[in-house]
C-alpha cells in the first residue's frame, strides 16, 4: 500500500516544480503590464467560429466529451511557442492560458474520469495556434474601409466555409494596398485546446476595447449595421487606418512575420490560404469606421504600441 501512495507523489513533483516557476512569472507580468487607454475612434468588427470538439457517437457508458479535463495532460507540459516576438499583452495572455492548463492539471492529478471503454472520446486538436496580424495603413486607403463594410454586410459568419471566405477576402483587400502599408505587427503562440476559446476571447476583448464603439458588426451570423448614417468615411484630417486579424487555427504553416513589407505580404498570403477545416475562429477588427472620426499618429502609438514601421 505504501508504494501505491508514493508513486503519484513522485509523478507530481516535476509538475509542481514547473508551476512554482511559471505561475510567479505570470503574476509579475500582470503587475508590470499597464493597459493602454482606449481613446481612439469608432470601428467595425466581423467574424465568428467554434471551439467545440467533434461530436461522438452515443453510448451507454455516459461519457460526454467537451475538452481536455483533469488528468488528461501528461508531462512535459506544453509551453507556448511564439513566433515573430510574441511580446506585449498577446504573449502574456498566451502564457496565462498555458499556466491555467498547468494549474488545472495539478488539481486533477489522480482524479481522471473513468470512461469504461464503451466509446472512444472525440478526436480533438492537441494545440491551437493563436495568430494576430495588425496592419496600419495611410488614411487614403478608403477603398479598404468600403471593402470591409461590404464584407460585413454580405459574409456568412456562421459557417466554417463563410469564415474561410471572409479571411481570404480580407487578406486580399489588404494585399491590394501595399503602397499604403506604413506599420505592421504579427504575433503567434500555441495553446492547448482546452484553453483556446478563453484565450481567443481575451485577445478579442483587448482589441475591441480600443474602439469607442462598433458601428459595423457581423459576428456569428448576428449583424449590426448603424442606421443613423454614422458609419462612413473618416474626417479629412484622419491619418491612419488599422486592421487587426485575429485567427485561431490548427494549421501548421509557418508564417513569415511582419518585419518588412515582403514578410507581411507572405504572411497575409499564407494566412488567407488557411483551409476551412483548420480555421477554428476569426475576428477582423478595424478603425476608424465612423464619419468624422480620426485616428491620428498619437492615437496609433497609444493604442497599438507594438506596431513597427515597415
Of the candidates 250, 240, 274, 260, the one whose C-alpha atom is nearest the C-alpha of residue 169 is 274
Instruction: Rounding to the nearest 10 degrees, give the CA dihedral for residues 142, 143, 144, 149.
Output: 100
Cβ atoms of 72 and 193 closer than 8 Å: no
Q: Is the pTM of this model over 0.75?
A: no
Decide which of 238 and 104 is more confident: 238
- The percent of residues in the chain predicted with pLDDT above 70, rounded, is 63
- Helix, strand, coil % in the chain, rounded to nearest 5: 40, 20, 40
Total Cβ atoms within 10 A of residue 222: 10
132 band by pLDDT with thresholds 50, 70 and 90: very high
Q: How far apart are CA 24 and CA 96, in angstroms?
A: 11
Burial class (CB in 10 A: 0-12, 13-18, 19+), 7: exposed
Q: How far apart are CA 221 and CA 157, in angstroms?
A: 5
Q: Is 39 helix (H, G, I), strand (E, B) or coil?
A: coil
Q: Is 140 helix (H, G, I), strand (E, B) or coil?
A: coil
Question: pLDDT tens-digit profile of 294-308?
Answer: 999 999 999 999 999
Q: Is 181 helix (H, G, I), strand (E, B) or coil?
A: strand
Question: pLDDT tens-digit profile of 23-35?
Answer: 555 554 544 444 4
Burial class (CB in 10 A: 0-12, 13-18, 19+), 210: buried
Q: How far apart are CA 128 and CA 131, in angstroms?
A: 10
Of the candidates 91, 183, 106, 180, the one whose C-alpha atom is nearest the C-alpha of residue 142 is 180
Of the candidates 42, 45, 53, the one whose C-alpha atom is nearest the C-alpha of residue 220 is 45
H helices present in the chain, as ranges: 2-32, 88-107, 142-154, 160-175, 196-208, 261-272, 297-303
Q: Tell me: pLDDT of 257 over 70.
A: yes
Q: How far apart are CA 41 and CA 291, in angstroms?
A: 10
Task: Kindly give, in sequence order, each residue whose CB lies less than 8 Å from that of residue 128, ignoring residues fewer than 6 positions away.
Answer: 51, 190, 191, 192, 193, 196, 248, 249, 250, 280
Cβ atoms of 64 and 294 closer than 8 Å: no
Task: Kindly give, in sequence order, each residue whose CB lies less than 8 Å from that of residue 81, ignoring residues fewer than 6 positions away.
Answer: 189, 190
Identify the bridge partners of residue 214 per DSSP, sorted by sequence position: 43
Of 33-47, 180-194, 261-275, 276-290, which gets the smallest average pLDDT?
A: 33-47
Of the candidates 138, 120, 76, 82, the one whose C-alpha atom is nearest the C-alpha of residue 101 is 76
83 band by pLDDT with thresholds 50, 70 and 90: low
Burial class (CB in 10 A: 0-12, 13-18, 19+), 216: buried
Say what the pLDDT of residue 232 is: 79
Decide which of 168 and 16 is more confident: 168
**Grid-cell match 504553416, residue found:** 253
Q: Is 194 helix (H, G, I), strand (E, B) or coil?
A: helix
Amino acid at each position: 500500500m505504501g508504494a501505491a501512495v508514493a508513486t503519484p507523489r513522485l509523478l507530481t513533483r516535476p509538475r509542481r516544480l514547473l508551476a512554482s516557476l511559471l505561475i510567479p512569472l505570470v503574476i509579475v507580468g500582470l503587475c508590470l503590464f499597464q493597459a493602454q487607454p482606449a481613446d481612439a475612434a469608432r470601428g467595425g468588427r466581423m467574424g465568428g467560429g467554434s471551439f467545440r470538439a467533434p461530436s461522438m457517437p452515443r453510448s451507454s457508458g455516459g461519457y460526454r466529451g467537451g475538452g481536455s479535463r483533469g488528468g488528461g495532460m501528461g508531462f512535459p507540459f506544453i509551453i507556448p511557442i511564439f513566433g515573430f516576438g510574441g511580446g506585449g499583452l498577446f504573449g502574456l495572455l498566451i502564457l496565462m492560458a498555458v499556466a491555467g492548463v498547468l494549474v488545472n492539471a495539478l488539481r486533477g492529478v489522480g482524479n481522471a474520469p473513468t470512461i469504461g471503454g464503451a466509446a472512444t472520446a472525440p478526436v480533438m486538436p492537441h494545440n491551437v495556434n493563436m495568430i494576430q496580424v495588425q496592419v496600419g495603413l495611410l488614411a487614403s486607403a478608403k477603398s479598404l474601409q468600403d471593402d470591409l463594410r461590404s464584407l460585413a454586410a454580405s459574409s456568412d459568419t456562421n459557417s466554417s466555409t463563410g469564415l474561410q471566405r471572409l479571411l481570404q477576402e480580407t487578406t486580399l483587400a489588404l494585399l491590394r494596398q501595399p503602397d499604403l502599408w506604413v506599420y505592421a505587427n504579427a504575433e503567434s503562440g500555441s495553446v492547448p485546446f482546452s484553453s483556446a476559446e478563453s484565450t481567443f476571447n481575451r485577445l478579442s476583448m483587448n482589441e475591441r476595447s480600443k474602439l469607442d464603439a462598433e458601428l459595423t458588426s457581423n459576428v456569428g451570423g448576428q449583424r449590426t449595421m448603424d442606421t443613423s448614417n454614422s458609419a462612413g468615411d473618416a474626417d479629412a484630417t484622419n491619418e491612419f487606418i488599422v486592421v487587426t486579424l485575429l485567427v485561431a487555427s490548427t494549421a501548421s504553416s509557418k508564417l513569415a512575420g511582419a518585419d518588412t513589407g515582403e514578410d507581411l505580404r507572405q504572411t497575409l498570403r499564407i494566412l488567407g490560404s488557411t483551409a476551412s477545416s483548420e480555421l477554428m475562429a476569426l475576428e477582423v477588427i478595424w478603425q476608424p469606421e465612423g464619419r468624422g472620426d480620426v485616428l491620428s499618429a498619437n492615437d496609433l502609438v497609444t493604442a497599438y504600441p507594438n506596431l513597427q514601421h515597415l
